[in-house]
Amino acid sequence: MKFLLPLLFLLALIQVKAQNRTFTIDYDNDTFLKDGKPFRYISGSVHYFRIPRDLWHDRLQKIRAAGFNSIQFVVQWNLHEPQPGQYNFEGRFDVEAFIRMAGDLGLYVILRPGPYICAERNGGGLPFWLYKLHPDIKLRSSDPNFLNYVDKWWDVLMVKMKPLLYKNGGPIIMSQLENEYGSYGLQTGYCDVEYLAHLRDKSWEHFGTDTLLYTTDGDSIDYVRCGRVQGAYATVDFGMGRNVTDSFHVQRLFEPQGPLVNSEYYPGWLDYWNQPHQMADFNMSVKSFEDILETGANVNVYMAHGGTSFAFENGANNPPFQVEPTSYDYDALISEPGDLTDKYFAFKSVIAKYLPIPSIEVNETTPKANYGRVPLNYVTSIFQGPMKFAQNNTNPMTFEDLNQEAGYVFYETAITEMFTDPAELQVNDLHDRANIYVNQEFVGILSRGEDCLTFPISVRKGDRLQLLVENQGRIGYGAYAKDFKGITSNVTLAGHALQDWSMFTMPLDDGPTLDNQLKRLQALQKTDPKFAQDTLTSFKEAVNNGQGGFWRGTFKIPCSETIANETFLNLPGWSKGVAFLNGFNLGRYWPIVGPQITLYVPSVLLKPACQENSLVIFEQQKPGCDTQNGCWVELVDTPNINGPTPLKPQETITYEKYSRSYNEL
């Protein structure tokens, strides 16, 4: 009993202390109040899902070491609920563990739970199954079909977030409603105040009315007017080169008193395939950051560390349809492999004028290694690969019809009559890219992004027409968020609609199983002469005619390395595809258009000290093979995300905020 009383007293003291934790706004003095005292945050954006879990601590610690006292991040709905009612909070999706780690390192957390997040992510974070279940659904609106699933999702997420609120002893000080809704409202022509009010009320239901909510919109009067809602503090976002006074004047029109806040200050910018890598003007980036802090404002730097859009997690924008690459380096303060940049130290010097810099030692660079060439063996073509028969149908079926989120779908039909030679193949509603085959022979490519939707082909009655269709990433910004994938309307040949299609799915969503399947096929090549001969014939077709297929190789890290180093996958001569390391999807590669040439290979994914590592390449087009050296890729110690591109800087396609090039600022 004598031990129980002090314990009960201690628990009561902790509870009282937690109850006294508050985060509010002092409107009279234009500041936030933390526990009743003026507080200013200087925050850096970082995304847990873009970093292997074992590297979270390194990245968060480096953000704290720069003087940031907070982080801001989004929660991506479609990663956590890939199918209705099926939830995933494991590994790099364990958002609770990420928040607790940030708090342990002395970082406060600004939560952005969506439901829409943008963030150059697949579908802006919205699950594809929303419009699979309800094709006419109105996303990001008060449509009951949408709100019903938002409520179910938040009933799961917010329960996990509530104990982590600042008032409950955790690090979360604020929570955002939606994301830049004003842009979407103006793009669609309808500002749905009922929708925003519903999100506000749902947040209060879980968090209580004493939890500070806020909205974020671009520094335009129309954007903020459309995106704000009573009960949530309105903030703005803007990048370098803007007139800071004018931008904050927009916020002041809607929040005459209270703290100034730039919720997204851009020190860098996003990339697109085919377009030059974006590099912000260094001096302007630093100066604009300091100009913001000189006003006394709070600021979040988007991004402090960008990371990587692994697997098929990249998004796209439209119109025009532009696809984001695997790297999300963003020209941020901390590079994709975790190196501290000159911009990092410049921002740290600026922060030091306004906040104390903690004494934390961090490595300025991460150890990197050149592990050399990895020989690859051809295993199988796309026609004998991991495709699964899905369904026959009169007309082509979409990914949604087939309940497939990402990856590829293979479409096949028979030519049942005679056509002119050549005949024009047309797929007007292709989403997004298709390799064309006749009797399994590669003949051409159709592409939504390049607006190439017709192609002349030569066919005879009885031939088989095949289309391998790639989902390049669901639209994450703009009015066209409902982005059905695959072939979404009729396919015509010389104006005649082709019918009676067979669909085969190839989601490539299970890397370990894929690796094992290919390993077994490799073993079969050694024991079955006929299979080996068929594979050789298929290999020649893949190399000579660009048919596409699967390659697999193994390699070992030197026995002296008990801990592997960071490295980068370089694919000289390879065209376009996906790479898997030890069953983990590293992401898409497309070096023939740039700007990203190499793929980041985190050290924590490698097996060190003489253990066997497996590398699988799915090449959609022509592989990097030659007669002397065979097929190979290499692991190098230097990244290259700034390679040559078809478009030059002055030709960069632009529209609104998310395609603006820094060359234009």
User: Which residues participate in catalysis according to the annotation?
Assistant: 180, 264
Q: Which of 602, 579, 600 is nearest to 589 (CA)?
A: 579
Q: In this structure, what DSSP letter does residue 241 have?
A: T
User: Residue 488: helix, strand or coil by DSSP?
Assistant: coil
Q: Which of 641, 117, 51, 660 is nearest to 331 (CA)?
A: 641
* Burial tier of 22 (Cβ tally within 10 Å: 0-12, 13-18, 19+): middle
Strand partners, 580: 585, 616
Q: In this structure, what DSSP letter does residue 497 have?
A: E
Q: CA angle, 159 as apex, 13 and 142 as ends, to 5°?
A: 135
- Residue-wise over 427-457: b if at least 16 C-beta within 10 A, else e? beebbbbbbbbbeeebbebbebbeeeeebeb
**Cβ–Cβ under 8 Å, residues 406 and 312:** yes
What residue type is 256 in one-letter code? P
Q: Which of 508, 313, 323, 314 is nearest to 407 (CA)?
A: 508
Q: Which of 536, 539, 557, 556 is nearest to 547 (CA)?
A: 539
Q: Which backbone phi and psi does 544 adopt, to 5 degrees?
A: -80, -35
Distances (CA, A) of 110 to 39, 161, 177, 547: 14, 12, 11, 48
Spatial distance between the Cα atoms of 573 and 466, rounded to a whole number of angstroms: 25
Whose tokens are 């979360």? That residue is 172
Strand partners, 446: 434
Distances (CA, A) of 123 to 89, 180, 288, 410: 19, 15, 31, 22
Distances (CA, A) of 312 to 251, 276, 473, 584, 606: 36, 21, 7, 12, 20
Count of alpha carbons within 13 angstroms of residue 613, beta-carbon side: 23
DSSP structure string for 304-315: SB--B--TT-B-
Which helix H or strand E contains 199, and what residues bound it?
Answer: helix 193-207
Q: Which backbone phi and psi does 553 adopt, to 5 degrees?
A: -150, 165
**Cβ–Cβ under 8 Å, residues 289 and 267:** yes
Q: CA angle, 88 as apex, 82 and 89 as ends, to 5°?
A: 145
**Cβ–Cβ under 8 Å, residues 447 and 322:** no
Task: Tokens for 378, please give them.
Answer: 């051809």
User: Residue 107: helix, strand or coil by DSSP?
Assistant: coil
CB atoms within 10 A of CB 483: 26
